[in-house]
Amino acid sequence: MIEGTVNNALEAVLPLTVSGPAERTSRVDAVIDTGYSGDITLPPHVVSGLGLTRVGAMKLRLANGNEEDFDTYVASVGWSGNERGVAVHETESEPLVGMSLLEGHELWVEARRGGRVRIDPLPA
């Protein structure tokens, strides 16, 4: 189980520990974005602080319908008690958790300021 909270802007937020090479880690508060189909996004200062290596670029469609290229990196996150490899898209926005990372899990949100957020693995 992974737990988070709903912030004052009514966003479901998860605390995540992201790891890069050479055991560099960063704790981020990531907003759950069900409209984002990737794993996670991180801002440039976190990507560089983790020492992530660029592995390519990916074209993503934004909420406004525009498509943009985003640099892509590989990292790992602590997820349900395990380390899980993730694709990181570098963006100028706050960190986001997308549907690819949530795949195979149930998302429960108490939709009120200070409410609980819980993610549980689905039964096999």
Q: Can you give the pLDDT at residue 23?
A: 85
Q: Which domain holds residue 97?
A: 16-102
pLDDT, one tens digit for every residue, the chain (124 residues): 999 999 999 999 999 999 998 889 999 999 999 999 999 999 999 999 999 999 998 887 777 778 888 899 999 999 988 999 999 999 999 999 999 999 999 999 999 999 999 999 999 8
113 assigned to some structural domain = no
What CATH number is given to the structural domain containing 94? 2.40.70.10
Residue 44: C-alpha distances to residues 27, 90, 121 (Å): 14, 6, 30
Residue 111 in any domain: the answer is no
- 107 falls within a domain: no
Which pLDDT value is given to residue 64? 74
> Could you tell me if residue 76 is inside a domain?
yes
pTM (two decimals): 0.91
Place of tokens 């100028």: 92
CB 81 within 8 A of CB 34: no
- How far is 119 from 107, CA to CA, in rounded Å? 5
**Number of domains the chain contains:** 1
Residue 1 lies in a domain: no
